[in-house]
Amino acid sequence: MQISKRKGYLDLKRRIADCINANYGKYLVATRDQPLTDADVRLWKFSGEKLHLVDACEDIRKKAAGDQDMSDESQKDPDLELNSGVEFPGETLEPFISTSQTLEDDTLESSVVVVEVRDNLNQGFAFKYLKNQRIYIGKCEFCTQKKILKVECACKRVRYCTPECLDKDKRWH
């Protein structure tokens, strides 16, 4: 599958869904009667060691087999989709879907994107997921580059792209 770097995250999801429909459509018929759409695809940015992902998948398998009741935890936060309760070893890319960020704007080049596909509408997704997460895009207070601002200063008035930039700007804040 190929996609231009100038495309956005929603384009990427649609492309993935189309690609799965075209190649695996006949296997999907068993679990659903509609083709996949972007809503059936969730994107994760994987960081760390491959083994962590293998472990996480093993945890999901165990939880599914154990059929535990986790309703307590999901009731606390309406935005929390508990699913298997297993955290993805990385971060969600979903907050980018509704932004105008293109694939080249972020630092995706050196990272692995994991695609989670919901093949059965009744079962939902597997990894624990927090809906409505916000990302901040703007000028970093220290390096002044337009980036994703991952950290907020304690004063709550400014944001930085990284903890390093926050640190370098400390004497002003």
- Residue 173 interacting with Zn ion (CB under 5 A): yes
Segment contacting Zn ion by CB under 5 A, of 64-72, 95-103, 124-132, 164-172: 164-172
Task: For residue 137, give the nearest of 109, 96, 94, 103 by alpha carbon.
Answer: 96
User: Least CB distance from residue 153 to Zn ion, whole Å?
Assistant: 3
User: Least CB distance from residue 133 to Zn ion, whole Å?
Assistant: 21
- Residue 149 interacting with Zn ion (CB under 5 A): no
How long a stretch of residues is the chain? 173
**Which two tokens mark 2?**
């190929």
Q: Are 19 and 43 in contact (CB under 8 A)?
A: no
User: Which listed residue (17, 93, 140, 166) binds Zn ion by CB under 5 A?
Assistant: 140
Task: For residue 162, give the nearest of 63, 141, 154, 171 by alpha carbon.
Answer: 141
**SS3 (DSSP) at 37:** coil
Query: Residue 36 burial by CB count (10 A; 0-12/13-18/19+): exposed, middle or buried?
Result: buried
| Cα diameter, the chain | 61
Segment contacting Zn ion by CB under 5 A, of 33-41, 104-112, 116-124, 147-155: 147-155
What character string, x for contact with Zn ion (CB under 5 A) and - otherwise, covers 92-131?
Answer: ----------------------------------------
Q: Are 121 and 32 in contact (CB under 8 A)?
A: yes
Segment contacting Zn ion by CB under 5 A, of 74-82, 83-91, 120-128, 165-173: 165-173
With a CB cutoff of 8 Å and minimum separation 6, the contacts of 129 are 42, 80, 81, 83, 92, 94
User: Which listed residue (60, 80, 113, 143) binds Zn ion by CB under 5 A?
Assistant: 143
User: Which listed residue (86, 103, 161, 166) binds Zn ion by CB under 5 A?
Assistant: 161
Segment contacting Zn ion by CB under 5 A, of 11-19, 34-42, 87-95, 150-158: 150-158
Which residues contribute to the site for Zn ion (CB under 5 A)?
A: 140, 142-143, 153, 155, 161, 165, 173
